Every structure is written in structure tokens, then in C-alpha cells.
Amino acid sequence: MLKLTNVSKSFGGLKAISDLTFEVRPNQFFGIIGANGAGKTTLLNLITGYTPPSEGRIEFEGMPIHGLPPYRVAHCGIGRTFQITQPFAEMSVLDNVMTGALFSRNGARRSLRQARAMCDEPLRLVGLADQAHQLAGVLTLGARKKLELARVLVTEPRLLLLDEVMGGLTPHEIDDLVETLRRVHAAGTTIVMIEHVLHAIMNLSDHVFVLNFGRELYRGTPDDVVNHPEVIAAYLGKPLTEQ
């Protein structure tokens, strides 16, 4: 579905991403982990067109997407969230999600009524249907993360990229968001997730890719990854069972 071939990205003399090759298959829940500065956000920016690769190919459903601007990548069916959520605080939850429906592909051709109708399912999936008429500015951080998710889901992405959605959440909010993402994935969206909250990413992912200084360190099932000596040495510090 998403295929990267020999992708590299340099910022001046710094090689933030070095020669990455991997493929995400339809319906996968693909986790990406790595220490601060390993290149995770740069990798998402490369896939979503926020920054062009210095070398290599990125294909989505067989079409080259490297070099396309972000809105064209989004129109291909790739949605993403950002580390910092930025809802329109003075607007309701529902109106925030409607902006996603109105400004996505074909959005200009939709009536307000059509855009409104498209919001029901994303709001239900993320568990915000009961708060649809609340102002976004009064939501807890956990609810704001769900709103960001709903605003992307209303664009009907086939591939969803999540950039550290669990950051700053309480343990209860993390468990709740894990269940939400499980529902989103079960509803048919392929997911690539970058995350530092290990138990969340290990619980959700069927495949985990480990980045270290912009290079592939290891890839495998969550069990393989957490027990691999190089991953323990470079990222975990000690085995998960001892943390």
C-alpha cells in the first residue's frame, strides 16, 4: 500500500533519514519507534509531502507520491495527525470536524448538510458523539486528541499516520485512546503510528520498525522487537519486563 525505496533526507550536513526501504500492507497496524531525534517525524513529513526526500521513491497504492505537496498527498487518501493538536477553540466539536469534510477532496462541492452528515461516523468512532456541541476550547487534552482524529477520519483516509498521539495523556486517557484506535483500525483504516508510549504501540501494532539515527535498526513483531538485544541497547535501556 505504502512503499518506500532507498529513501534518504539530508538537512545540510545532517542525514536525518538514511536509505530506508519498507512497505506497509493494507490493514496493517505499523508501529515506528526510536529515540528522540531518530528521524520519526521527518519520516512522516517525507511521506506526507511536508518535506521532499533527497533521494529515493515513495509510492502509495502503486503511484509515486514523493515531491507532491501535502494537499495532493492528502487527496490520494493519506491522513495524518500532528504532535500538537490545534483545534478551532471557539468552534464546536462538530464544526471542527465539519471543516475536515469541507476542506478535503471534493469538499467544495458538498453542501453544509452533506458535510454535517459525514461527521456522525467519525464522532461515533472516536467516542465524541455526546460532546458534539461543546466548544473545542474546553475539551481535555485526551478529548482534543480524539477530535483531531475525527477531523482526519472525516476525510476518509485509507492510510492514517499518527505522530505521537499519546503524548501528554494520563494513563487512563492512554488506555481509552488505545481502544479508540483499535476501533478505527477495525473499521478498515490502515495505520502507521509513531509513539514513545511503548505499551500502547506494542499493544496495537502487528509490525514494529525501529529507527536509530535515521537508519533501520530492526523490524519485526512487537515481541521480537522488545526482546532484541540491539533494540534494548539503543532504545529501551533495559528489557520491558524490568521497566
Ligand X SMILES: Nc1ncnc2c1ncn2[C@@H]1O[C@H](COP(=O)(O)OP(=O)(O)OP(=O)(O)O)[C@@H](O)[C@H]1O
**Binder to ligand X among 6, 14, 26, 141 (CB under 6 A)?**
14
Shorter beta-carbon distance to ligand X: residue 39 or 142:
39
* Residue 84 in the binding site for ligand X (CB under 6 A): no
Closest C-alpha to 194, from 174, 182, 209: 209
**Binder to ligand X among 16, 153, 192, 208 (CB under 6 A)?**
16
Instruction: Single out the segment in contact with ligand X by CB under 6 A; choices: 38-46, 98-106, 115-123, 176-184.
Output: 38-46
Q: Give the integer Cα–Cα distance in Å for 36 and 19.
A: 19
How many chain residues are in contact with ligand X, going by CB under 6 A?
Answer: 11
**Which residues, at least 6 apart from 135, have a Cβ–Cβ distance to it below 8 Å?**
89, 90, 91, 92, 93
* Residue 42 in the binding site for ligand X (CB under 6 A): yes
Shorter beta-carbon distance to ligand X: residue 115 or 225:
225
Residue with cell 496493517: 28
Per-residue burial over 153-182, b = 16 or more CB atoms within 10 Å of its CB, e = otherwise = bbbbbbbbbbbbbbeebeeebbebbbebbe
For residue 192, what are the β-bridge partners?
30, 161
Shorter beta-carbon distance to ligand X: residue 2 or 38:
38
Phi, psi of 108 (to 5 degrees): -65, -20
**Binder to ligand X among 3, 29, 31, 39 (CB under 6 A)?**
39
Q: What's the min distance (Å) between Cβ of 130 and ligand X?
A: 33
208-237 footprint of ligand X as x/- string (CB under 6 A): ------------------------------
Tell me the residue ranges of DSSP E strands in 98-155. none
* Residue 11 in the binding site for ligand X (CB under 6 A): yes
**Binder to ligand X among 10, 18, 41, 203 (CB under 6 A)?**
41
**CA 14, 19, 37, 75 torsion-angle sign:** positive
Question: Would you mind telling me the total number of residues written for the chain in this entry?
Answer: 243
Shorter beta-carbon distance to ligand X: residue 39 or 157:
39
**Which residues, at least 6 apart from 109, have a Cβ–Cβ distance to it below 8 Å?**
none
* Residue 99 in the binding site for ligand X (CB under 6 A): no
Put the strands of the sheet holding 55-60 in their side by side order: 14-24, 2-11, 55-60, 63-64
* Residue 31 in the binding site for ligand X (CB under 6 A): no
Shorter beta-carbon distance to ligand X: residue 61 or 216:
216
* Residue 34 in the binding site for ligand X (CB under 6 A): yes
Instruction: Single out the segment in contact with ligand X by CB under 6 A; choices: 40-48, 89-97, 122-130, 220-228.
Output: 40-48
DSSP code, position 92: B
Task: List residues binding ligand X (CB under 6 A).
Answer: 11, 14, 16, 34, 36-42
